[in-house]
Amino acid sequence: MVIPGFDNTAPPVQACGLLNRFGSNIIHENLDFTLKSEEILGIVGGSGSGKSVLMNTLLGLKIPEGGKIYYYGCDRSRLNDRERAAMNNEIGVLFQGGALFSSLTVRENIMVPLREHTDLPEPLMCELADMKIHMVGLPAHAATLFPSDLSGGMKKRAGLARSLALDPKLLFLDEPTAGLDPIGASAFDNLILDLREAMKFTVLMVTHDLDSLYTICDRVAVLVDKQIVVADRLSEVQNYPHSWVKQYFGGPRSRAAQTAGRI
Amino acid sequence: MADAPTYNIEHTDRQIKLSASGDWTVTEIARIDQKLRRDLAPLDYDTVIYDFTNMAKIDTAGAYVFARAIRCKTDGCFDYDLITTMPGHRKLITAAAEASMGQAPRDPRHWYDILIRIGEYTSGFLSEVYDTLAFLGRFLVVFVKLLLTPTRIRWKSVVFLIEDIGLNAAPIVMLLSFFVGAVIAYMAASLLASFGAQVFMVDLITVSVLREFATLITVIILAGRSDSAFTAQIGAMKMRQEIDAMTVIGLDTYETLVVPRAIACLVSAPVLAFLAMVSGIGGGLLVAWSGGSNGISPILFVTRIRDVVDPVHFFVGMIKTPVFALLIAVIGCRQGLAVTGSVDSLGSRTTSSVVQAIFAVLTTNAAFAVLFFHVGI
């Protein structure tokens, strides 16, 4: 399926003048945002600032009340159903809890997108699923386990494996390291870096993990006052003159993560 | 349009050179997977050189198939080298080659699986019966203790539950009972007319509705409506660790969840059964009246009930309902508390909750019938 207007060199995601509101409660207003190709961008913002709403909007789960979203130069609202489905195959999502299908084993979970969108023979699909399981660092025997038998960290890895099933060009991660212990979290960070090197995808992640921000994000976008006020390298963002940004990056936790990142 | 993936194998000495061209992507790769496997199988080699020079596109699926040359030989480790300009290719091939090391287990099926399943179901059934009886016992202990200190009963939730279980169910129970009464009346009218004994249909309708049907309709609605709700509510609480939180805070789950539901059922079921009796007889009365010239007038109907129907039938029907109500509440709550973390278990527990409740109610009802027959009422 060839998507008209698809431009590999255009930014993977671009939002122009986005407006989101629930009734009279305005979440985002005039929000502009661009994701660069093959970067890892972290979105930060206070609780209730609309990070999840923004992610759902960028994913197409929520239709914005105003503004436009472009994927690789294509206007999302002008794609027809088939083109939109083809575009969705270029996008992988890791939801916060993994969102694995609880009635399927890990291997079957990873095979779902393959089964739906390719005509691969069953044994090859199994092998590819097992390869993805290996790539995300799960033990081989995890393939036949059900999601309820997995720990939180394993669920995230399995969810990541499923989101990578079709080799997406664009990966959305919703708090990928939340709820993991520091060792597991930094292993997960390194996993994302390694996979990016091998698979060349662009990552947009919502995170509160300061260590992740310092170690793997190329750029950080700050969502306050219904807008992305700044999206830049961390050193620039830290000096941005806004009280919330100063508080966020000036707190003791942030300083600790920063020194740890330097060592 | 994507280019079909193609490849070329040069076999020299103990080394093969595998040159690829075209798109080696997940959508295209199915075409050559089998062929590559067949071509590689007879070859004998211990070094592989991958040539990426003409490769248009590759993703992890392509790399996996490409790396099969390393993998399909199982004896020991292989040397491989890449001719490429992109460092990403090496990463991909390495990842794909490593994937072969941890072969995932398959889950095989055996001919004796059927025996295993029969065994599992049998032992599962026995332990279900045992667990339900144990739960009933523990519940009765807590229940009696609470009855001795009635201030500790959570009356607020009891009242709320009575509204939900009793009041809200009243219309549907009455409607169904009305229909059942009417159906019995039609049946009796056509059967008894051949003897010219239509007036006995009053006896038939009243006795069957009072003794059996009103009670059964009530408890079957309760089992389908409230018992499944108990399991789903408590099961969802269990999944979200609310039950664990209650235990840690020091709340007894039997006291807070099971007993209020049981009391609400105990109060609601007899009231519902009474309403079902009234509307069931009402349904019969209407049908009997509508029988034209052979019809039985409402006055005759009621007089005949007063003259010939023994009030003991009413008490037989009423005495059974609290027992059924208790069974339903206990089974619903037990299945809810037996839910584990997965969505599947919530579904299967809700199903078995309703099935068990109806099963328990109908078997107990049969036991009552035998008992009353021997006692002679």
Residues 1-60 of B with CB under 8 A from A: 1, 25-27, 29-30, 33-34, 59-60
Is residue B124 included in any domain, yes or no?
A: no
Residues B290 and B161 occupy one common structural domain: yes
Q: What is the mean pLDDT of residues A222-250?
A: 85
pLDDT of residue B352: 93
Cβ contacts of B59 on chain A, cutoff 8 Å: 167, 199
Residues B155 and B272 occupy one common structural domain: yes
Quick one: tokens of B113?
A: 């699986």
**Contact call for B60 and A167, based on CB within 8 A:** yes
Please count the other Cβ atoms lying within 10 Å of the Cβ belonging to residue A148: 15
Lay out the sheet containing A170-174: strands in order across: A91-94, A170-174, A202-206, A40-44, A219-224, A227-232
ipTM: 0.73
Q: Provide the 8-state DSSP code for B294.
A: G
- What does the mean pLDDT of chain B come to? 87
Quick one: tokens of B240?
A: 């979200």
Is residue B135 included in any domain, yes or no?
A: no
Digit-coded pLDDT (tens) for B269-314 = 999 999 999 999 999 999 998 876 677 889 999 999 999 889 999 9
Digit-coded pLDDT (tens) for B62-78 = 888 877 766 555 554 56
CB A143 within 8 A of CB B108: no
Q: How far apart are CA A186 and CA A166, in angstroms?
A: 25
Quick one: tokens of A261?
A: 């990142």
CA distance A126 to chain B (A): 9
Confidence band for B12, pLDDT divided at 50, 70 and 90: confident
Quick one: tokens of B227?
A: 């018992």
Cβ contacts of A106 on chain B, cutoff 8 Å: none
Residues B320 and B248 occupy one common structural domain: yes
Digit-coded pLDDT (tens) for B188-222 = 888 888 888 888 889 999 999 999 999 999 999 99
Residue B136 phi/psi, 5-degree rounding, is -60, -45
CB B66 within 8 A of CB B24: yes
Q: If DSSP codes are grouped into helix, strand and coil, which group holds residue B42?
A: coil
Residues pairing with A42 in the sheet: A205, A220
CA distance B78 to chain A (A): 19
Digit-coded pLDDT (tens) for A60-70 = 888 888 888 88
Q: How many domains does chain B have?
A: 2
Integer-rounded Cα radius of gyration of chain A:
19
Q: The domain spanning residue A202 has which CATH number?
A: 3.40.50.300
Q: What is the mean pLDDT of residues B221-244?
A: 92
Out of B40, B69, B99, a domain closes at B99
Three-class DSSP labels, chain A: CCCCCCCCCCCCEEEEEEEEEECCEEEEEEEEEEECCCCEEEEECCCCCCHHHHHHHHHCCCCCCEEEEEECCEEHHHCCHHHHHHHHCCEEEECCCCCCCCCCCHHHHHHHHHHHHCCCCHHHHHHHHHHHHHHCCCCHHHHHCCHHHCCHHHHHHHHHHHHCCCCCCEEEEECCCCCCCHHHHHHHHHHHHHHHHHHCCEEEEECCCHHHHHHCCCEEEEEECCEEEEEECHHHHHCCCCHHHHHHHHCHHHHHHHHHHHC
pLDDT of residue B170: 95
pLDDT of residue B293: 63
pLDDT of residue B208: 94
Residues B368 and B256 occupy one common structural domain: yes
Residues B293 and B190 occupy one common structural domain: yes
Higher-scoring residue by pLDDT: A206, A178? A206
Q: Is the pLDDT of residue B96 over 80?
A: no
pLDDT of residue B329: 95
Digit-coded pLDDT (tens) for A188-198 = 888 888 888 87
How far, CA to CA in Å, does B8 sit from each of B41, B72, B88? 15, 17, 22
**Contact call for A103 and B64, based on CB within 8 A:** no
Residues 120-149 of A with CB under 8 A from B: 120-121, 124, 126-128, 130-135, 139-141, 143-144, 146-148
E strand residue ranges, chain B: 6-12, 15-24, 47-58, 79-83
**Contact call for A102 and B344, based on CB within 8 A:** yes
CA distance B347 to chain A (A): 11
Confidence band for B107, pLDDT divided at 50, 70 and 90: low
pLDDT of residue B250: 83
Is residue B105 included in any domain, yes or no?
A: no
Is residue B273 included in any domain, yes or no?
A: yes
Is residue A131 included in any domain, yes or no?
A: yes
CA distance A114 to chain B (A): 8
Residues pairing with A221 in the sheet: A43, A231
Integer-rounded Cα radius of gyration of chain B:
36
How far, CA to CA in Å, does B77 sit from each of A135, B43, B70? 19, 16, 8
Q: How far apart are CA A32 and CA A17, in angstroms?
A: 5
Q: What is the mean pLDDT of residues B100-122?
A: 78
Please count the other Cβ atoms lying within 10 Å of the Cβ belonging to residue B87: 11
Which one-letter amino acid corresponds to residue A207?
T
Element (H, E) at B91: helix B87-99
pLDDT of residue B205: 92
Higher-scoring residue by pLDDT: B97, B225? B225
* Segment of A46-60, A122-136, B243-257, B346-360 carrying the highest mean pLDDT: B346-360
Confidence band for B100, pLDDT divided at 50, 70 and 90: low
Task: Using alpha carbons only, give the angle B303, B309, B312 rounded to the nearest 5 degrees.
Answer: 140
Residues B240 and B337 occupy one common structural domain: yes
Is residue A101 included in any domain, yes or no?
A: yes
Name the nearest CA neighbour of B270 among B229, B312, B230, B317: B317
Cβ contacts of A126 on chain B, cutoff 8 Å: 104
Residues pairing with B50 in the sheet: B18, B82
pLDDT of residue A261: 60
Confidence band for B366, pLDDT divided at 50, 70 and 90: very high
Q: How many C-alpha atoms does B265 have within 13 Å on its Cβ side? A: 31
Is residue A26 included in any domain, yes or no?
A: no
Q: How far apart are CA B65 and CA B371, in angstroms?
A: 73
Residues 167-186 of A with CB under 8 A from B: 167
Residue B107 phi/psi, 5-degree rounding, is -100, 105
Residues B22 and B75 occupy one common structural domain: yes
User: At what angle are helices B242-249 and B228-239 packed, to 10 degrees?
Assistant: 70
Is residue A102 included in any domain, yes or no?
A: yes
pLDDT of residue B41: 75
Is A108's Cβ below 8 Å from some Cβ in B? no
Q: Is the pLDDT of residue A15 over 60?
A: yes
Lay out the sheet containing B6-12: strands in order across: B6-12, B15-24, B47-58, B79-83
- CA-nearest residue to B89 within chain A is A198
Is residue B68 included in any domain, yes or no?
A: yes
**Contact call for A146 and B103, based on CB within 8 A:** no
Name the nearest CA neighbour of B348 among B235, B241, B258, B243: B235
pLDDT of residue B73: 52
CB A55 within 8 A of CB A49: no
Spell out the residues 6+ positions from residue B40 whose beta carbon is closer than 8 angstroms to its own.
B9, B68, B69, B72
Q: How far apart are CA A133 and CA A19, in angstroms?
A: 39
Please count the other Cβ atoms lying within 10 Å of the Cβ belonging to residue A189: 22
Domain that holds residue B47: 6-99
Is residue B202 included in any domain, yes or no?
A: yes
Q: How far apart are CA A82 and CA A49, in angstroms?
A: 33
Domain that holds residue A248: 37-60+82-262
* Segment of A64-68, A180-184, B325-329 carrying the highest mean pLDDT: B325-329
Digit-coded pLDDT (tens) for A137-151 = 888 888 888 888 888
Is residue A9 included in any domain, yes or no?
A: no
Q: If DSSP codes are grouped into helix, strand and coil, which group holds residue B86?
A: coil
pLDDT of residue B99: 67
Q: If DSSP codes are grouped into helix, strand and coil, which group holds residue B18?
A: strand
Q: The domain spanning residue B80 has which CATH number?
A: 3.30.750.24
Is residue A161 included in any domain, yes or no?
A: yes
Q: Provide the 8-state DSSP code for B58.
A: E
How far, CA to CA in Å, does A107 sit from each of A115, A148, A162, B63, B96? 12, 14, 9, 19, 17
Is residue A167 included in any domain, yes or no?
A: yes
Is residue A10 included in any domain, yes or no?
A: no
Q: How many domains does chain A have?
A: 1
Quick one: tokens of B263?
A: 């009391």
Is residue B71 included in any domain, yes or no?
A: yes
